Amino acid sequence: MKILTVVGARPQFIKCAPVSRALRKQHEEVLVHTGQHYDREMSDLFFEELGIPHPDYNLGIGSGTHGHQTGAMLAGIEDLITHEHPDCVLVYGDTNSTLAGALAAAKLHVPVAHVEAGLRSFDRRMPEEINRVLTDHVSDLLLCPTETAVENLRSEGITGGVHLTGDVMVDALLEHTRVAQASSVLADLGLSAGTYRLATVHRAENTDDPKKLAAIMRALGDLGDVVLPCHPRTEKMLKKFGLYEEADRRIRLIKPVGYLEMLALEASAQTILTDSGGVQKEAYVLGVPCITMRETTEWIETVQDSWNILVGSDHDAIVRAAREFVPEKERSDVFGKGDAAVKIARVLGEMGK
């Protein structure tokens, strides 16, 4: 089969790494980078570290409002599908690149395969939730990371083409944990294991509201031992709201780090505070307590198993949870065993028969 894969944002590079490798053993892959993320530390670094093949096309779309960004991607991907005639278009997760890839393919009657199908936060104010729902409803193959995701699809009437594969982020994590342990990032930052908290913040609902962003930064500053690899969106909004200097004084703000450095920082953190989807899961798999600075999560198993707590953007709730939260249950392999990519390649192969 000829599979045209669309990626564009940091977590999609990580997800596509194991899948691309498995796919290329049996199929031809045309890799398309929309250019949604473009800074070296948000894009090229991951291709190098994870050995992802160089994209066949980079649409260079860059940043913009949802409509402008998604619209430009849609037009660019449509041209490529028309030119390449793939048997299937493969998309990942819930970004604007995901929706553009899925919509372009569906309108051209090319089957769509969605990795990370069925996730729901049930919060339609999140752009990601709109992207997930719409992508799932035009997908032919719905590759679900969890039982919950399969159930979510069933309750929306989607049962055909649904496969439980496990989570490809677990594949990536298990494959790279050992190499990550050799990273010098802790020494470089003067950190020792178990003595710092790791934070990430980038959700629009947190960064674009000055009150919420200020409360989060004040809470992280009050904890006193926080390292925060800062997403470019967050840096931009901190500067816009005049919050950057104080945050930089009270929190260890660093540039976004590569995947191996991130795994090393996560694994040795005392606690993780985040609004990232991927980081919540990684905290669970690595056995690090997670404080999620959101009201909802699509990775509900992490909360049910008591390794994650939702605290929103409230200053006191963040500080209290960071100081007091202790997981009480055993973790399981609810996100899979690290063989999701192989399963996905197999399911795609069956579609081609």
Q: For residues 169-208, which are near ligand UDP according to CB under 6 A?
A: 200, 202
Rama region for 35: left / alpha / beta (φ>0; ψ in -120 to 50; rest): left
Whole-number Å distance between alpha carbons of 98 and 132: 8
Nearest to 231 by CA among 278, 168, 165: 278
Assess contact for 184 and 214: CB atoms under 8 A: no
Least distance to ligand UD1 from the beta carbon of 6, Å? 12
> What type of residue is 239?
K
Among 4, 8, 11, 139, binds ligand UDP (CB under 6 A): 11
Binding mask 207-246 for ligand UD1 (x = CB under 6 A): -------------------------xx--x----------
CA distances from 93 to 172, 186, 227 (A): 15, 30, 26
Binding mask 51-70 for ligand UD1 (x = CB under 6 A): ------------x-------
Whole-number Å distance between alpha carbons of 302 and 279: 11
Binding partner at 233 among ligand UD1, ligand UDP, none, C-beta below 5 to 8 Å by kind:
ligand UD1
In the complex with ligand UD1, which residue's Cβ is closer, 239 or 323? Answer: 239
Between helices 168-181 and 277-286, what is the axis angle to 10°?
60
DSSP 135-199: HHHH-SEEEESSHHHHHHHHHTT--TTEEE---HHHHHHHHHHHHHHT--HHHHTT--TTS-EEE
Whole-number Å distance between alpha carbons of 60 and 37: 9
Binding mask 229-258 for ligand UDP (x = CB under 6 A): x--------------------------xxx
Contact between 298 and ligand UDP (CB under 6 A)?
no
Contact between 71 and ligand UD1 (CB under 6 A)?
no
In the complex with ligand UD1, which residue's Cβ is closer, 294 or 343? Answer: 294
The phi and psi torsions of 88 (rounded to 5 degrees) equal -160, 150
Residues with catalytic function = 202
Contact between 18 and ligand UDP (CB under 6 A)?
no
Contact between 275 and ligand UD1 (CB under 6 A)?
no
Binding partner at 237 among ligand UDP, ligand UD1, none, C-beta below 5 to 8 Å by kind:
none
Region near ligand UD1 per CB under 6 A, out of 32-40, 132-140, 216-224, 343-351: 32-40
Least distance to ligand UD1 from the beta carbon of 240, Å? 10
Binding partner at 38 among ligand UD1, ligand UDP, none, C-beta below 5 to 8 Å by kind:
ligand UD1
Computed from CA positions of residues 100, 41, 275, 247, in that sequence, does the dihedral angle turn out positive or negative?
negative
Among 29, 167, 282, 301, binds ligand UDP (CB under 6 A): 282
The vertex-254 CA angle with 222 and 281, nearest 5°, equals 80
Tokens 């020494």 found at: 187
Whole-number Å distance between alpha carbons of 190 and 171: 30
Contact between 96 and ligand UD1 (CB under 6 A)?
yes
Contact between 76 and ligand UDP (CB under 6 A)?
no
* 67 Cβ contact partners less than 8 Å away, ≥ 6 residues apart: none
- Tell me the site size for ligand UD1, rule CB under 6 A: 18
Contact between 13 and ligand UDP (CB under 6 A)?
no
Binding partner at 111 among ligand UD1, ligand UDP, none, C-beta below 5 to 8 Å by kind:
none
Contact between 277 and ligand UDP (CB under 6 A)?
yes
**Alpha helix stretches (DSSP H) within 66-146:** 66-84, 96-107, 127-138
The phi and psi torsions of 57 (rounded to 5 degrees) equal -140, 140
Contact between 321 and ligand UDP (CB under 6 A)?
no
Contact between 276 and ligand UDP (CB under 6 A)?
yes
- Residues at the site binding ligand UDP, with contacts judged by CB under 6 A: 10-11, 14, 200, 202, 229, 256-259, 262, 276-279, 282
